[in-house]
Amino acid sequence: MEENDTRTGAQLFADTVQRLGFTHALHIAGEGILEMIDALATEHPGIAHIAFRHEAGMVYAAQAMGQQQGRPALCLAARAPGALNTALALHTADTDAAPLVLVIGQASQTQAGQDPLSGSDLGAVFRPLVKEVLEVASVEQLPMTLTRAWHAAASGRQGPVVVVVPENLMHLRGNSSLVPDGPPPVARAGIALPALRTLKQWVASARRPLLLLGGTGWSDGDRDRLHALAHHLGWPVACSYRRGHLFDNAHAHYAGELGIGIDPALFDAVESADLVVAVNVRLGELNTFGPGGFGGRRLLAPIKGRRLVHLHPSTHELQRTTVADLALALEPAAALVALETLEPGSTESDWVARCRAARVVWTDSGHCPGPLDLRQVFQTLRERLTDETVVTVGAGAYAVWLHRYFTLRAPRTLLGPKSGAMGYGLPAAIGAALAEPGRPVVAVAGDGCFMMHAEEMATAMQQGLDLLLLVVNNQGYGAIRASQQRLFGRTVGTDLQNPDFVGWAQAFGAHAERVTKTDDWLPALDRMLAMSGLRLIELQLPPTVAKPL
């Protein structure tokens, strides 16, 4: 092989990353990835380097970027200490069907496994958490393995893919012709015509049909077609947990969101439907959550007289948790094409209006005790923000207020972990801001949730990002406090003594204010919206506030 036809492993890595269309490399530099980072910077300076403060924050940002861009984002972690910090965030990317590629720089092949820093069997560690783990054994394999990782992350049910790269490969040489020209075309599953005929018959006779939407892999244009479809068929539409942005929440056909905090009336509507068509929805624990909470009644258990049609890109998700009468492996785009061939059936004349009326009652009710009314906070926040604003949220009782009272109007405007991972909101907001510079982003967090990855305020400042953070401070793990009260009549270890959030944010260089009563909220919000950069509003509440009453 001619020396000038060859590139080092590090150069091959950098060339492949560039050809696959990655625009950003998110990382915390360290042993194992130093050669890759250096080659990216020197060979392809157009790729932006974003330095994070915790690897989980980095992966949350990458998974938010991946979802917002509709193609995988790239992040890199150094050997075992960096890699193992990513575990919950990788699991969250998997629950959220978020496309990303995490490259882990492993010790050299001769060294691996010899001491804690050179790492254990990282493939074995990550395999249960992610869509796929690929390990590179030779420099020749490197470009193809990265390409395969990109495709695995982007195709079918999207998700996180880990690539483990031994450090010594960076110095070996491989042929430059191994580098792909660009991202590979994504393989697509198709439509089964006999099944479509069956579906048409069921739709024709359904009296109370309902469309459920979820998942990733939709395009912004699909959303207009979904509105047109709901209108054409005359069906109500609900979204899976934290996918409310897939359908305009103000639309006359919108019936609400499944999952934690579900409106009991929506639960009843889904149970009383005689045909449910679930598109791209995972029918696991979260989306079948009942109003009674954990251990309560489940949605969509097989019911006599109700037909369930499940369309999902992954055969693994079909017939997994409940029995569907028709289960087809279809990606959202193909499912949409199939549904667009349907004709309206004999739907009850007031079915859509009944579902919609219940939704309106739900969002117009609910009480917040104390001097600062969170219902008003989230309703007026909606009025002040543009429809395009992206809102990110983690886990806690505070999130229920956002989900119930903040009307999502535009596509890709909500990012929230389906794993229930606390700490997600701020790093995800960073990812969303990196993915679409100029698009407004607001992160909402509880005091507990915020502090799990508050270190990423430094990253946001360093990148000069425009972010607004709302910290709902009820001085404790409120959701858990409420569960403890319900289960045991007392609380243990769930009260929190917090720092002065305003002073803390200011120490990072952010603008910050504290609000303790409803009348002060809008003036504070308006002051913050008039400014740019990193801004934080602490919403200070009595410890008694958790979910809407």
Ligand X SMILES: Cc1ncc(C[n+]2csc(CCOP(=O)(O)OP(=O)(O)O)c2C)c(N)n1
State yes or no: residue 454 binds ligand X (CB under 6 A).
no
Binding mask 374-413 for ligand X (x = CB under 6 A): ---------------------xxxx---------------
> Least distance in Å: CB of 239 to ligand X?
21
Question: Nearest distance from residue 526's CB to ligand X, in Å?
Answer: 25
Piece in contact with ligand X (CB under 6 A), picked from 311-319, 405-413, 442-450, 511-519: 442-450
Nearest-approach distance from CB 466 to ligand X, in angstroms:
24
In sequence order, the β-bridge partners of residue 25 are 49, 74
The least CB distance from residue 169 to ligand X, in Å, is 34
Least Å distance, CB 56 to ligand X, is 9
Distance CA(346)–CA(209), nearest Å, equals 10
| Residue closer to ligand X, measured from CB, 7 or 547 | 547
Q: What is the DSSP letter of 244?
A: G
Angle, to 10 degrees, between the axis of helix 374-384 and the axis of helix 518-529? 30
Ordered DSSP codes for 472-509: EE-SB-HHHHHHHHHHHSS--S-B-----HHHHHHHTT
- CA 87 to CA 101: how far, in whole Å? 14
Please, which residue, 184 or 366, has the CB nearer to ligand X?
366
Find residue 256's DSSP bridge partners: 238
DSSP H stretches of helix in 406-498: 425-435, 447-452, 457-462, 478-488
Q: Which residue stretch of 49-57, 368-376, 431-439, 468-476 sits at the interface with ligand X (rule: CB under 6 A)?
A: 468-476
CB of 447 to ligand X, least distance (A): 4
Residue type, 90: L
CB of residue 471 to ligand X, shortest distance in Å = 9
Nearer to ligand X, 267 or 401 (CB): 401
Applying CB under 6 A, the span of 218-226, 264-272, 446-454, 506-514 interacting with ligand X comes to 446-454
| Least spacing, CB of residue 505 vs ligand X, in Å | 16
How far apart (Å, rounded) are the C-alpha atoms in residues 361 and 192?
40
Query: With binding defined as CB under 6 A, does residue 166 bind ligand X?
Result: no
Question: Binding string to ligand X for residues 480 to 509, with x set by CB under 6 A, is what?
Answer: x-----------------------------
Which residues, listed in sequence order, are joined to residue 106 by a DSSP beta bridge?
A: 166
Q: Whose Cβ is closer to ligand X: residue 32's or residue 548's?
A: 548
Residue of the chain from 32, 66, 448, 548 that contacts ligand X (CB under 6 A): 448
Q: Which of 63, 191, 194 is nearest to 131 (CA)?
A: 63
Instruction: For the CB of residue 524, give the shortest distance to ligand X in the complex, in Å.
Output: 20
351 vs 477, beta carbon nearer ligand X: 477
Q: Determine if 474 is a binding residue for ligand X (CB under 6 A).
A: yes
Cβ nearer to ligand X, comparing 15 with 447: 447
Query: What is the separation of C-alpha 511 from the centre of its chain, rounded to a whole number of angstroms?
Result: 27
Total residues in contact with ligand X, by rule CB under 6 A: 20
User: Does the footprint of ligand X cover residue 421 (CB under 6 A)?
Assistant: yes
Smallest distance from ligand X to CB 390, Å = 20
From the number of C-beta atoms within 10 Å of its C-beta (0-12, 13-18, 19+), residue 195 rates as: middle
Compare residues 248 and 447 and give the one whose CB is closer to ligand X.
447
Binding range to ligand X, per CB under 6 A, among 97-105, 206-214, 454-462, 469-477 = 469-477
The residues in 66-125 that bind ligand X, with binding defined as CB under 6 A, are 88
Asked if 449 interacts with ligand X (CB under 6 A), we say yes
DSSP-assigned states of every residue in 161-173: EEEEEEGGGGTSE
Rounded to 10 degrees, the C-alpha dihedral 191/192/198/204 comes to: 20
CB of residue 291 vs ligand X: minimum separation in angstroms?
18
Count the neighbouring beta carbons within 10 Å of the beta carbon of residue 164. Answer: 24
* Sheet strands side by side (includes 237-239): 254-257, 237-239, 209-213, 275-279, 307-312, 326-329
Give the total residue count for the chain. 549
CA angle centred on 418, ends 417 and 420, rounded to 5° = 70
- Three-state SS string over 341-368 comes to CCCCCCCCCCHHHHHHHHHHHHHCCCCC
Site string for ligand X, 182-221 (x = CB under 6 A): ----------------------------------------
Instruction: Identify which range of 74-82, 104-112, 318-326, 420-428 contacts ligand X by CB under 6 A.
Output: 420-428
Closest to ligand X by CB, 130 or 422: 422
The minimum distance between CB 214 and ligand X, in angstroms, equals 20
- Check residue 420 for interaction with ligand X (CB under 6 A): yes
Per-residue DSSP letters for 319-333?
TSSS--SEEEE--HH
Q: Locate tokens 């899976």: which residue?
A: 240
Query: With contact defined as beta carbons under 8 Å apart, do 424 and 392 qualify?
Result: yes
Residues that bind ligand X (CB under 6 A): 88, 395-398, 420-423, 446-449, 472, 474, 476-480
